[in-house]
Every structure is written in structure tokens, then in C-alpha cells.
Chain A
Amino acid sequence: MATDERRWERFDRRRRLGRFVLTVVAAVAVVGSWQFMDIGIVRPETIPREVGDLLVRMYPPDVAYTTRIVGPLIETIQIAALGTIGALVLSIPVALLAAENTTPNAATFWLGKLVVTVSRSVNTIIWALFFVVLFGSGPLAGAVAIAFRSIGFLGKLLGEEIEEIDFGQVEAVRAAGASSVQVLLYGILPQVKPALVGLSIYRWDINIRDSTVLGFVGAGGIGVQLFRAVNAFAWQSVATVLLVILGVVVATESLSAYTRALVR
């Protein structure tokens, strides 16, 4: 019987070939990369010893140092909060431009996409370098950097939410004679409000992590203390700062998860 000769195969020939080619390309890339960096690499087998050595020097953490980092820690949290609220305000127009159903024309659509792309491709620390030049060193530069980095994230995800709204409600509000601001407030905003709140909290959580490193380029926060302690080889103080950062980040993450579960 003909059916007996049919064999079951997981993938057809084209897919298997594709997978094979992809695997080979990846393998060649990794080997080539290792070769390329050979100049910069000396004896990777020493890594465990060096790292272990560092951990030994970090123990025990310098408890007395905690009093010195309370101020910078609060500053870090403030930078993250202000950066997030600033980004939220700025990202709403960006999201409206970047959503296919609310953008006025093709040019504004691409403008929205461009803002989102540039904001997302440039890391927070690079934005911070830039704003330290503009505002001088200090937490203000950090807050603005956090805001500019978050615009892309919020603008992109919020834009996607706006694209999925029920346009019937918007038409209804418009048909009742609402101005464009009123259409925004009563037709669009109520539909994306849960997403708006959830995304902002999620981004705030990410921003707390990001704002811990702003101090390395002079943009304020706990990174300043960490950088100083590292440069002074005060490893026990470094351990204290790291533990404090770990605590704050874990607490933030739990708070963020809890609040997002509430609004969902």
C-alpha cells in the first residue's frame, strides 16, 4: 500500500537546510570572533582565580558605609521617578505620531518612528554623556538622560496599544462635536489608560536599574559612590553598595510586579 511508504519527518528538506546553514554561519562567526580578539585576550583560565580573589577581598561588607550612601540612593530613586514621568509626558505625542491610526500623514508617521528608533538605539549611559555636556554634571543630566532613553520604549509600546483601540468610540466622540483635544481625552485616552499606567511602572522599574550607573559619567546617583569606592580599591565598601543596589532593585521589581497586577 502506498501509505505504508510515507515516512514521517519533523521538517521538510528546505527547513533543515536553512537550519544547517544558519548553524554553520553562527559557528563560523563565533570562531572568527575569538580569532579576531586574540590580540586582546590573555589566558582566560585565570578568570576564576581573579574573580574569586576579588570576592574574598569584598568580604565582609563595610556596614558603616551604608550611612554614606543613603543620600545618593535617594537621589537615584528620584532620578528614575523624574525621568519616567518626563518620558511619559513626552512619549504621548510620540506614540500618537507613531500609531498608524492617529498619525496625520505618512511624514509624521515616519517622524514618530524615527524618534522611537533613535531613542531606543542610544543607551542611557550615552544619553547621560550627552546631557552632562548640556546641563553640567549632576542628577538633572541623569534624569533627562533617563527620560530620553524611555521615550522610545514608551512611545513604541504605547503606539502599538493605540493601534489596537476600538476606533468606533473615537468616531462617536468626534461625531458629538468634540475638538481634537477632547477626542484625545475622551475617545483615545480611556482606552489606553491601563496600558499607559502598566507600561510606565514597568519602565520605572527598568529606570531604577539604569540610574544606578549614571554616576560613572557624572550624572548623579549611587553610581558616583560605587565608582569612587572601586577606584579607591575599597572593596568592602563596594560590596556594601552592591548589596544596597541589589536590595533596591529587588524591592522595586516586586513593587512593580504587584502594581502592574493591580491595574491589569
Chain B
Amino acid sequence: MAAGERTWERPTVFRRRELKWAVYAGILGFFVWSGFGVGADPGRIAQGLGSAVSLVGDFLPPSATPRQTERILEKMLESVAMAMVSTLTGIVLSVPIAFMAAENLSPKPLYAINRGFISVSRAFNAIIVAIIAVKAIGFGPLAGILTITFKTVGFFSKLLAEDLEDIDMGSVDAVRASGASPVQTLLYGVVPQIIPRFAGLSVYRWDINIRTSTIIGIVGAGGIGSVLLTAFNRYDYQYVTAILLSIIAVVLVAEGVSAVVRRRYN
């Protein structure tokens, strides 16, 4: 009987078994090559882990003199302040860009330009943006604000544009059919549909911005990062641990606030 000959095979994404093994072998080969490429020989790793044990002792316990504590507080406030200001500027700038980057609301060339801008913003790590911002406008929190604003625009307008593409065009048409001008169509047909997402996204991005603002000081763009780099360069490892703990604490608080707000207002 035909039914007796039926065999079961596990579902797989590959059409042919040979292809599957070729892909696996290729991936494995790549990892081996990478291992040689970064100089990851077992001896060196063992040595590094060995020195890690003694070094961890240098990092503990965390400690900071009263002056250092003051410095952490001041620079941490600067980080949080940068995040606050640039979340607002970023969101304000994102709104027009998001509308222009939504396929259903924007003409083709404008759509392409704005999508391109979003890709550029998302492709570059905040540190890269920060280092260029610092060269352009000098050290300090202004470069940080510029960096975070730029990163926020890429993230925020991408997600907002996707929401705009998902809206119910029926209600937009209804508003338009009642004789509304283009501005009125946007205000009463489009905006009410995205407001809830808008609030959630803003808080989410604020949370990410707090994280970003704690590190871009490493390249001179203001905030606690500069203190961290200096402490590392001075081999003041107990102070480094104190700074790291303060960063972790702030990041966790921001994450908690963001989670609570998103749950209540989404």
C-alpha cells in the first residue's frame, strides 16, 4: 500500500540536503576563519581570563571620594538633561519626516529622500554620530543633543511612518469627503489614529536616549561617559565600578518608568 511507504521528514528551510550541509560548512568555516582573524587562540583567552580574576579584585569594592560622587551626580544630571531635551527636539523633527516617509501620504520622490535619511540615521552608531558632531560644533552637551536628536529622528520617523502606512484610509476618505482641506484631513483623519502609538513610542525612545546619553561622553559629547573614560585612563578601577553602578541604576529607573507609562497609556 502507498500509505505504508510514506515517510516523515522534519520540516527544513533548505530544499536539498546537500545545500543544507554546504551552508552549515560555510558558516562553520567562516567562524574558524574569524577566530584566526581576531587572534582568539585558547592560550590568549586563558591568559586574559586569568588576569581577569586578579583584575576583578581591583574593581571591587566600588568607591568614590565625596568630590568624585559630586562629579558623578553632576555629569549624570547632564546626561539625563541631554536625553530630555533631545527626545523633544527629535520627536518634533520626526513628525514632518514621518509624514513624508509614509508611502500612502507622500509623493514618490519625497518618500525616497526621507526613507534614505532614515536609513542613514539608523545605520550609524550613536558614537560615530557623536564624534562627528563634536568635530563640527565642539565638545560639550550641545554635540550630544545634536547626536541624540539625529538618532531619535531616524528611529522615531521610521516607526511612525510604518504606523501611518497602516492607518485606516476609510476614515481619512470620510473626512476628505466631508469637504475638509488637506490640513484638516491630516488633523482629523490621520492624527487621531496614531496618537496612542505616538505616546508609547515617545516614552520608549526617551528610555533609549537615556542609555545613549550615558555613553557618548566617551568621545566628548557631554554627560557621564567622559567621567568614565577618564577614570579608566587613570586606572582608578574602583571609581569606574562606582560610575558603572550609577549608570546601571539610572538605566533601570528609566526602563521602569518607560514600562509603567507605556502600559498605562497605550
Chain B interface bracket (under 10, 10 to 19, 20 to 34, 35 or more): 35 or more
Chain A nearest CB: distance from B50 CB in Å?
Answer: 10
Task: Report how far A36 CA is from B252 CA in the complex, Å.
Answer: 23
Q: Which residues of A contact B127 (CB under 8 A)?
A: 125, 213, 216
Please determine whether B55 and A133 come into contact, CB atoms closer than 8 angstroms: yes
What is the number of contacts between chain A and chain B, taking CB atoms within 8 Å? 165
Chain B nearest CB: distance from A228 CB in Å?
Answer: 12
Task: Report how far A142 CA is from B243 CA in the complex, Å.
Answer: 21
Main secondary structure of the interface of B (DSSP, over half): helix
**Interface pick from A39-47, A61-69, A104-112, A157-165:** A39-47
A interface residues, how many (CB within 8 angstroms)? 66
Q: Which residues of B contact A233 (CB under 8 A)?
A: 135
Main secondary structure of the interface of A (DSSP, over half): helix
Please determine whether B13 and A262 come into contact, CB atoms closer than 8 angstroms: yes
Please determine whether A126 and B135 come into contact, CB atoms closer than 8 angstroms: no
* A187 beta carbon closer than 8 Å to chain B: no
| In-complex Cβ contact of A82 among B34, B132, B228, B265 (8 A) | B34
Chain B nearest CB: distance from A168 CB in Å?
Answer: 19
Please determine whether A212 and B128 come into contact, CB atoms closer than 8 angstroms: yes
* B65 beta carbon closer than 8 Å to chain A: no
**Interface pick from A114-122, A169-177, A178-186:** A114-122
Please determine whether A216 and B218 come into contact, CB atoms closer than 8 angstroms: yes
Q: Which residues of A contact B40 (CB under 8 A)?
A: 82, 140, 143
Contact of A242 with B248 at beta-carbon distance under 8 Å, contacts A126-B228, A129-B232, A140-B38 already known: no
Q: Which residues of B contact A85 (CB under 8 A)?
A: 31
| In-complex Cβ contact of A47 among B37, B120, B123, B137 (8 A) | B137
Chain A nearest CB: distance from B2 CB in Å?
Answer: 29
* A257 beta carbon closer than 8 Å to chain B: no
Please determine whether B37 and A78 come into contact, CB atoms closer than 8 angstroms: yes
Q: Which residues of A contact B110 (CB under 8 A)?
A: none
Given contacts A37-B81, A81-B30, 16 further A-B contacts (CB under 8 A): A33-B82, A34-B81, A36-B78, A37-B78, A50-B137, A51-B137, A53-B136, A77-B34, A85-B31, A121-B248, A122-B247, A122-B248, A217-B218, A242-B124, A245-B123, A245-B124
